[in-house]
Structure 1
Amino acid sequence: MEPGTVILTGCAGFIGCKVAELLLRTGHLVVGIDNLNDAYDVRLKQWRLKQILHYPGFQLHQLDISDRAALSEPFEAACGPYGRGPVAVINLAARAGVRQSVEDPWVYYDTNVTGTLNLLDLCRKRGINKFVLASTSSLYGQGNPMPYREDANTDAPLSPYAASKKAAEALCYTYHYLYGIDVTVLRYFTVYGPAGRPDMSLFRFVQWISEGHSVLVYGDGQQSRDFTYVDDIARGTIAGLKPLGYEVINLGSDTPIVLIEAIRLIETFLGKKAEIVHTPRHPADVQATWAEISKAKQLLGWQPQSTFQDGVDALVRWYQANREWAMHVSTG
Structure 2
Amino acid sequence: MYIMQTILVTGAAGFIGSNLVLELLRSLSPVQIIGLDNMNDYYDVSIKEYRLEQIAASAAEHSDSQWIFIKGNLADKALIDKIFADYKPEIVVNLAAQAGVRYSITNPDAYIESNLIGFYNILEACRHSYDNGAKGVEHLVYASSSSVYGSNKKVPYSTDDKVDNPVSLYAATKKSNELLAHAYSKLYNIPSTGLRFFTVYGPAGRPDMAYFGFTNKLLAGKTIEIFNYGNCKRDFTYVDDIVEGVKRVMQAPPERKVGEDGLPLPPYKVYNIGNSHPENLLDFVTILQEELLRAGVLPADYDFEAHKKLVPMQPGDVPVTYADTTPLERDFGFKPSTPLREGLRKFAEWYKKFYNC
Return the offset for 1:86: 1.7
1:286 Cα deviation after fit: 0.1
- TM-score, L = length of structure 1: 0.92
Equivalence for 2:122: 119
1:224-243 aligned within 5 A: 224-241=233-250, 242-243=252-253
Q: Which residue of 2 aligns with 1:259?
A: 281
Matched, 1:172 2:181: yes
Secondary structure, in 3 states, of the residue corresponding to 2:102?
helix
Match of 1:199 among 205, 208, 211: 208
d(CA) in 2 for partners of 1:235, 1:95 = 23
Corresponding residue of 2:221: 212
Superposition deviation, residue 240 in structure 1: 1.4
Gaps of 5+ in 2: 130-135, 255-266, 294-301
Give the TM-score, by structure 2 length.
Answer: 0.86
Q: Could you say which residue in structure 2 is the equivalent of 1:246?
A: 268
Structure 2 letter corresponding to 1:313 = R
Aligned to 1:330: none
Question: For residues 160-199 of structure 1, what are the alpha-carbon distances to aligned partners after superposition, in whole Å with 9 as ceiling and x for unaligned?
Answer: 0000011111110011000111011000000000011111
Partner of 2:21: 20
- Asked if the contact 2:108–2:169 (Cα under 8 Å) also holds between the matched residues in 1, the reply is yes
Give the distance between the partners of 2:286 and 2:239, measured in 1 at CA.
21
Matched, 1:309 2:341: yes
Judged with a 3 Å threshold, the aligned counterparts in structure 2 of structure 1 residues 3 and 309 are, in CA distance, closer, same or farther, namely: farther
Alignment of 1:102-117 (within 5 A): 102-117=105-120
Q: Give 3-state SS (helix, strand or coil) of 1:98's partner.
A: coil
Task: Say if 2:196 and 2:272, in contact at 8 Å, map to a contact too.
Answer: yes
Query: CA offset at residue 3 of structure 1?
Result: 5.5
Alignment match, 1:300: 332
In 1, are the aligned partners of 2:6 and 2:91 still within 8 Å (CA)? yes
> Match of 1:247, SS?
strand
TM-align CA RMSD: 1.4
> Residue 58 of structure 1 corresponds to which residue in structure 2?
67
2:279 maps to 1:269:
no
Structure 1 residue 278 and structure 2 residue 310: aligned?
yes
In the other structure, the counterpart of 1:11 is 12
| Shift of residue 16, structure 1, vs aligned partner | 0.2
Q: 1:61 touches 1:74 (CA, 8 Å); kept in 2?
A: no
CA displacement, residues 253-277 of structure 1 (integer Å, 9 cap, x when unaligned): 0010111111111111223442102
Matching residue's letter, 1:250? N
User: How far apart are the structure 1 equivalents of 2:231 and 2:353?
Assistant: 31
CA radius of gyration, larger in: 2
Distance 1:247 1:115, change over 3 A: same
Aligned length: 318
SS for the counterpart of 1:52 is: helix
Structure 1 unmatched ranges of 5 or more = 79-84, 328-332
Q: Which moved more, 1:155-164 or 1:204-213?
A: 204-213
- Give matches, 1:62-101, under 5 Å: 62-78=71-87, 85-101=88-104
Amino acid at match of 1:149: S
Once the two structures are overlaid, the 10-residue window that deviates more, 301-310 or 61-70, is 301-310
**Which amino acid letter does the alignment assign opposite residue 281 of structure 2?**
L
Identity within the alignment, %: 37
**In structure 2, C-alpha distance between the alignment counterparts of 1:92 and 1:66, rounded to whole Å:** 14
